[in-house]
Structure 1
């Protein structure tokens, strides 16, 4: 029974990967590579005795970014599959894929290099070189979310056959909001001296969000994950009758934007997202 269950799970995983490869081979391979490297960053944490400012292990950030960018690449590959097959290989989208891989790779190399040196990668402007590399990393992060716009545009122009208009709109809206919210809030955060607002300490488990004061990462997190949240909402409402489905979708998008902006305002007010 256990062997049959394991075989069934492996079969489902294989089908998902095969589907992803058909949708976007480059981004799927890249995302899987980053997820394969993620455990290495986890294993380095108990081995490396050094700590950064605030008592944070230097390999925490590489682990977070390998996981986050791996999921980002795989989600982008999946959503690209909603574009008509013959419209996925336009010069614009081919260049877009290379942009995503290049920007993410630069960011990861710098983050991992700084971890190996026992130095901060983010908000590190201590020398002209660090300031320049941090600025370049910010540009790369902006390009990553900006890469969602050509995908949204091509999806609206040439959706795959059989997709309901409400779902196409939801996917495109999620991609646009990833740029607007994730990119905009990320740019604001990157221009500060820290992600924390006010007193910093006692980070939330797993996420590390500040529980003593405000934390700009919460709103940025919500903005970036509009890439998954809004298409999922579209999936939930796509089979409802026209007016009901569209009302729930637009209302859900408005609520998501409101929650994201409210968490940003909360951080600026020096209030923790989750109190002790």
Structure 2
């Protein structure tokens, strides 16, 4: 199985593969935390956030490890971009796990100056990763993929994922209540929120934590972000199904479905 995996990933971006491997390990650690650590944070198991982020980053890294192998122009820029993203996302995970160990929220935390700076550093790391991902998206959009459906998928998937990533910035906008407290000279414990129309920490979906009583910005964030995987997988699936379904052998049909 190891040899088969090496054959499949030969030529893929090594930095992104390394990041995916580290996040796979972090996923196992987070699962162990869910079992062994019964602490709650914001109404959810405290290790739920590291678990979600490690899985999401692993999928991101694995997808870009493959996409980067398709980039034919600016190979040096691609390699350096991957290394920078790897470093920034590792910094993000160190901050998240560090706050979990301390029993503190990582996102929006304004309880102390230290907590505030942790969130600022996380924001800077994600901003840097977004900018580099934008560069990689431009490079992959200029890659030469013969099949039009696949070409559309590897162009649209990363582009939509950038919009999904950008939704996170809306979460960092202070709520009306937080603005009122700051204008009154008080220090809110949180600046920003996931939920819309209801307070954070209310009833939510198990593990995901998405609000079941109001809006939640994590939903469009999730959908947009993982278009990065969904569209290329759809193109691959349509190509595979074309063997059995003749209608899918038409490249234009597959392109329209993507």
TM-score range, shorter chain: 0.7 to 0.9
CA contact (8 A) 2:141 2:154 kept: no
Residue 117 of structure 1 and its aligned partner are, at CA, apart by 0.4
The runs of at least 4 aligned residues of structure 1 exceeding 4 Å deviation read: 236-240
Is contact 1:152-1:176 (8 Å) kept?
yes
Q: CA deviation at 1:14?
A: 4.1
Show the counterpart of 1:32: 21
What are structure 2's unaligned runs of at least 5 residues? 175-191, 240-247
Distance 1:146 1:236, change over 3 A: farther
1:125 aligned residue (98, 101, 110): 110
In the TM superposition, 1:218-257 aligns within 5 A as 218-236=219-237, 240-249=249-258
2:172 to 166, 169, 190: 190
Which of 79, 83, 95 is equivalent to 2:71?
A: 83
Question: Unpaired segments of 5 or more residues in structure 1?
Answer: 1-10, 250-276
> What is the rounded CA distance, in whole Å, between the counterparts of 2:106 and 2:205 in structure 1?
21
SS in 1 for 2:221: helix
Q: 1:137: Cα distance to partner? A: 1.0
Aligned 1:259-270 pairs, distance under 5 A: none
Distance 1:220 1:158, change over 3 A: closer
1:45 equivalent in structure 2: 34
Distance, in Å, in 2 between the alignment partners of 1:14 and 1:204 is 39
Distance, in Å, in 1 between the alignment partners of 2:252 and 2:19 is: 40
TM-score (norm 1): 0.75
Whose relative contact order is higher, 1 or 2, with alpha carbons under 8 Å and at least 6 apart? 2
Once residues 69 and 168 of structure 1 are traced to their aligned partners in structure 2, the CA distance between those partners, rounded to angstroms, is 23
> Residue by residue, what CA displacement relative to the aligned partner does 1:174-230 show, whole Å, maximum 9, x if unpaired?
111111x21321111132421012155332123221112211100100111010112
The 5 A counterparts of 1:90-239 are 90-159=75-144, 163-179=146-162, 181-192=163-174, 193-197=192-196, 198-199=198-199, 200-236=201-237
Number of corresponding residues = 231
